[in-house]
Amino acid sequence: MGIIVSSVCRVLMGVALMLGVTGKLALADTPVIPFERYFADARGGGQTLKFNDFSGEIGANRIKALLRSGSTLGDRVLLQNGIAVYFPEGYIVSSSMTLNKFRPKGGLQDKAVRSKSDLEPDPNYHLSAQFDRLLGPVCAEVDGPLPGTKLRARRTARGVFSVIRVGPGQFDALSGERSVGYRIVSAVDTPFLGRDPTVAILIDQCTQS
C-alpha cells in the first residue's frame, strides 16, 4: 500500500510540474473544502485542504486512489475520508462526495457488490443531517432528471456553492431498504460545478436570492 501511495504522489507532483504551476501561490484566505474540518476534528487534527491549495501539498497518507477525469488520469484524487478533489491545473477547484446509507464492505469496489452481505452502514451518512451547518442553507431547488430525484443548491457564508443530487440510495435494491442518497459537488468558482444547464439555473437563482 505504501508503494502505491508513493507512486500516486509522484504522479501527482509530475502532473503539476508539467503544467508549470509550481510557482503559483495558494490563497491563504480561501475557504476550507466542505467536510474537511469535520474529518480533521474526528481524527484529532491534521491537514485541512482549502480551495486553491496546491495539489502537491496533499499528504501521501491522505491519498486513497487516483481518479480519472475523462481521458485524463492524475488531476483528481480520492482522499481516505471519501472526498474527491479536482485540480485540472494543479490547484484544487472543486470537491465531491457521495453519501449513502450503506457502502461496500472491506474496500470492495461498487461493481463488486453482489448482495446485502457485501454491504455495511456508512458511518458518515449522518452528515446528511448536518448540511445546513456544513454546506449552508438551500438557496435553490429543481426536480432532477429522473422521477423522485432533486437537485439542490446550497451556499455558505464564505461563498462555497454546493450542488446536491438527491435520489434513491445507491444500494437500495440490494439492502431491501428505501433510503436517500446524496452526491455533493462543491466549488467557489461556479463553472467547476459542472456544465449541466440545470446547474447554471440553480446557481443563477442562488446569486439572485
Mean pLDDT of 3-32: 53
Full residue range of the structural domain in which residue 199 is found: 97-208
Confidence of residue 114 (pLDDT cuts 50, 70, 90): very high
Residue 77 shares a structural domain with residue 116: no
For residue 136, pLDDT beyond 60? yes
Residue 79 shares a structural domain with residue 102: no
Look at residue 15 in the predicted model and tell me its pLDDT: 45
| Number of structural domains the chain divides into | 2
- Beta strand extents in 34-93 (DSSP E only): 63-69, 72-79, 84-86
Three-class SS state of 92: coil
Residue 109 shares a structural domain with residue 66: no
